[in-house]
Chains A and B, each alone.
Chain A
Amino acid sequence: MKKGRFGDFGGQYVPETLMGPLEELEEAYLQFKCDQGCKSTLDRLLTEYAGRPTKLTFCKNLSDILGCRIYLKREDLLHGGAHKINNTLGQAILARYMGKTRLIAETGAGQHGVATAIAGAVLGLPVEVYMGATDIARQQLNVFRMQLLGAKVIPVNNGTKTLKDAINEALRDWVANVRDTHYLIGSVVGPHPYPEMVRDFQSVIGVETREQILEHEGRLPDAIVACVGGGSNAIGIFHQFINDPVRLFGVEAGGKGPGPGEHGASLCAGSHGVLHGAFSYLLQDGDGQVAPTHSVSAGLDYPGVGPEHSMLKETGRVQYHTVSDEEALDAFFLLSRTEGIIPALESSHAVAYAVELSRECRKDDVIVINLSGRGDKDVHEVARLRGVAI
């Protein structure tokens, strides 16, 4: 396989100015991986600060309802409320190791922005977060959280004013300030080495899940389900099971329907293209213009997807499906009421697909859902959608 490629996918489709810095980042990352000091700093922060390992929770009530054995990998219990911190702590330590003095990030739902703000605060690096104006409006709580954590939130008013435009703007910032700034990408997207590096930082999810399920069940699960926007939580849990007889399911945002602009299902409904530095599946028109997207969850409202997912789709190792806004909302309520756990709207997509999958399952079948984040950030939006004033 060519360097920086997953099958045909991936690569470094970036302006020349970034090629040198990406090479530096790759070299530094290789050194960082062997550096005992960095490794112990990361391990310590992940355990004592972020809350790793996270629990694998058996959901008795939901299992009774669905007629199979449902487990949740509780990334929602991490500091900051989502899996994002696995990656931000890793990259922030790397940035410091490289002598960078400033972090920038993009954010959609705000979870990655919050996780970057947290990492910046604890590691002493100033943080600026690019966020689409539309997302700012629907994720007010996270905007204020980032500000409380000392980060500066920069509204992006270009294009569709969502995650993809925030990434464009962060890349523009990085091009201009590459000498002292690290761009802390929040998912397994972007040019090489980001997809590989973010996967490495997130693969702790799968490593723990494997140990924990063996402890609980004495065997590997039958299926693992995770939501896919850019795809970092999904890659994080899948990676450890790629060579095992475990069915893997990625769930994309089906939004309001299959029409153009109504969903965020890059793998299920897109075609080959280049966005944000990587060759991957992409929602676009016939002329190569990137299509608008929609999802009830800001974190899945993205026209691209990580290049490794594109490979996993084409090899057939992972099956990708969509779940609509309505189904995700139903799952949001279902998990809240049956298990007392309010899932993020992103993760609710995975829960919703597990409900569907359970219909073909036997009583002893084991399904693990990656509960990538908690839903506190979505409470306001869900109330609004249900016409409740709070």
Chain B
Amino acid sequence: MSRIDQLFGSLDRPAFIAYLVAGYPDFETSLSASGALIDAGADILEIGVPFSDPLADGPTIQRAHQSALEGGMTQNGVFNLVKEVRRDYTTPVVLLAYANHLIARGISRFYEDAAAAGVDGVLVVDMPPEECEEARLNAEKNAIDQIFIIAPTTRDHRRDMILQKSAGFLYLVSVLGVTGVRHRLSPETLAFVRDLRSHTPVPLAVGFGISSPDHVMPLAGAGADAVIVGSGIVDIIGRSIAGQPSAHDELAAFARDMREACNNCSKMNRS
């Protein structure tokens, strides 16, 4: 049973998944931000592997990728970051990579290095299951959960195939579009979560546009097992570049609020 499975098996509330970009604004800050997020209550840490052409990401995360690369971040650097986090924490760590990371490194080597660093799950943003078989087998071999995305545009026959192949949790892209802060949760998003809930027991993590503790309760009510916050966090981390030391406190406070919103859902009658 993977760390991710154990986590979802043990929680009676939605999990809070926090995303940041490795090496943004620099290695040390992304390491300390990782610690701050976990200390404040993040249940899973998602680490974005910087890529020159992150086409699934909106402006906030794109800038973070670019800036991390300009600062010299590499795949080795990402694995070192995970190792450093692992030194102090048992929190599950998921890598968000792009296909070309795996191809350039060699797919088997990527998963071996990920496992050695202590990675629990891998999601390759531009590798739908049809292109992911070799990666998925390597993930299995290295006891890593290969995580897949389901989107509002995913058709039923593909949904069933994805459900069958996915491990750890399912990443629900809640809206059409790229990553980025959106202020309102749409009724379509909630309907999408409810619909999927009726088809699978696999933990459902909802991402893209989740930015506020207020989003948690309705999502949990619709059947979500986790909420993923990305751009909102990257935004706060970015402010520390502009020499705002308060960004660190702001990050911790934001993570605490998100976690508290998750805690408040613990008594809900969850399906």
CB contact between A176 and one of B100, B154, B176 (< 8 Å): that residue: B176
CB contact between B178 and one of A172, A274, A277, A290 (< 8 Å): that residue: A172
CB of A16 within 8 A of CB of B151, answer yes
CB of B100 within 8 A of CB of A288, answer yes
CB of A273 within 8 A of CB of B149, answer no
Given contacts A20-B155, A21-B153, contact A176 B177 (CB under 8 A): yes
The answer for the CA separation of A195 and B167 in the assembled complex, in Å, is 32
Give A274-311 as 1s and 0s: 1 = Cβ < 8 Å from B's Cβ atoms.
11110100101011111000000000000000000000
Residues of A within 8 Å of B98, CB to CB, are: 274, 288
The answer for the CA separation of A15 and B207 in the assembled complex, in Å, is 14
Q: Which of A6-14, A33-41, A90-98, A130-138 contacts B (4 or more CB under 8 A)?
A: A6-14
Residues of A within 8 Å of B53, CB to CB, are: 159, 164-165, 168, 275-276, 290
CB contact between A13 and one of B54, B105, B131 (< 8 Å): that residue: B131
Question: Does residue B55 face the partner (Cβ distance < 8 Å to A)?
Answer: yes
Question: Does residue B75 face the partner (Cβ distance < 8 Å to A)?
Answer: yes
Residues of A within 8 Å of B126, CB to CB, are: 13-15, 274, 277
Given contacts A13-B99, A15-B55, A17-B151, contact A287 B125 (CB under 8 A): no
CB contact between B101 and one of A176, A178, A282, A288 (< 8 Å): that residue: A288
CB of B178 within 8 A of CB of A273, answer no
What is the interface size of chain B, counting residues whose CB is below 8 A from a CB of the partner?
Answer: 40
Between A and B, how many residue pairs show CB distances below 8 Å? Answer: 117
The answer for the CA separation of A168 and B151 in the assembled complex, in Å, is 19
Question: Does residue B238 face the partner (Cβ distance < 8 Å to A)?
Answer: no
Given contacts A20-B153, A172-B58, contact A288 B103 (CB under 8 A): yes
The answer for the CA separation of A288 and B58 in the assembled complex, in Å, is 20
CB of B153 within 8 A of CB of A177, answer no
CB of A175 within 8 A of CB of B128, answer no
Given contacts A177-B176, A179-B176, contact A287 B104 (CB under 8 A): yes
Question: Does residue A121 face the partner (Cβ distance < 8 Å to B)?
Answer: no
Residues of B within 8 Å of A164, CB to CB, are: 53
- CB-contacts of A239-286 with B (<8 A): 272-277, 279, 282, 284, 286
The answer for the CA separation of A276 and B54 in the assembled complex, in Å, is 10
- CB-contacts of B138-180 with A (<8 A): 148-155, 158, 162, 173, 176-178
List the B residue with the shortest CB-CB distance to A288: B104
Give B28-64 as 1s and 0s: 1 = Cβ < 8 Å from A's Cβ atoms.
0000000000000000000000011111101000100
The answer for the CA separation of A176 and B153 in the assembled complex, in Å, is 11
- CB-contacts of A1-54 with B (<8 A): 11-21, 23
Question: Does residue A101 face the partner (Cβ distance < 8 Å to B)?
Answer: no
Shortest beta-carbon distance, B241 to chain A, in Å? 18
CB of B154 within 8 A of CB of A16, answer yes
Question: Does residue B74 face the partner (Cβ distance < 8 Å to A)?
Answer: yes
Question: Does residue B127 face the partner (Cβ distance < 8 Å to A)?
Answer: yes
Residues of B within 8 Å of A175, CB to CB, are: 56, 176-178
Residues of A within 8 Å of B125, CB to CB, are: 15
Shortest beta-carbon distance, A98 to chain B, in Å? 14
The answer for the CA separation of A274 and B104 in the assembled complex, in Å, is 9
CB of B176 within 8 A of CB of A290, answer no
Given contacts A11-B131, A12-B131, A172-B178, contact A20 B103 (CB under 8 A): no
Given contacts A159-B52, A159-B66, A168-B53, contact A16 B99 (CB under 8 A): no
List the A residue with the shortest CB-CB distance to B99: A274
CB of B149 within 8 A of CB of A15, answer yes
Residues of B within 8 Å of A282, CB to CB, are: 100
Residue of B58, B74, B102, B150 most packed against chain A (CB within 10 A): B74
Residues of B within 8 Å of A15, CB to CB, are: 55-56, 125-126, 128, 149, 151, 173
Residues of A within 8 Å of B101, CB to CB, are: 287-288
Question: Does residue A171 face the partner (Cβ distance < 8 Å to B)?
Answer: yes
Can you list 6 A-B pairs, Cβ within 8 angstroms, ordered by A? A13-B126, A175-B56, A177-B176, A273-B104, A288-B103, A289-B69
Q: Which residues of B contact A (CB under 8 A)?
A: 51-56, 58, 62, 66, 69, 74-75, 98-105, 125-128, 130-131, 148-155, 158, 162, 173, 176-178
List 11 other contacts, CB 8 Å, given A13-B127, A17-B153: A11-B131, A16-B162, A17-B149, A18-B153, A19-B158, A158-B62, A159-B52, A164-B53, A171-B55, A277-B126, A289-B52
Q: Which residues of A contact B (CB under 8 A)?
A: 11-21, 23, 158-159, 164-165, 168, 171-172, 175-179, 272-277, 279, 282, 284, 286-290
A-B complex: 7 closest residue pairs judged by Cβ atoms: A288-B104, A176-B177, A20-B153, A16-B149, A17-B151, A274-B99, A288-B100
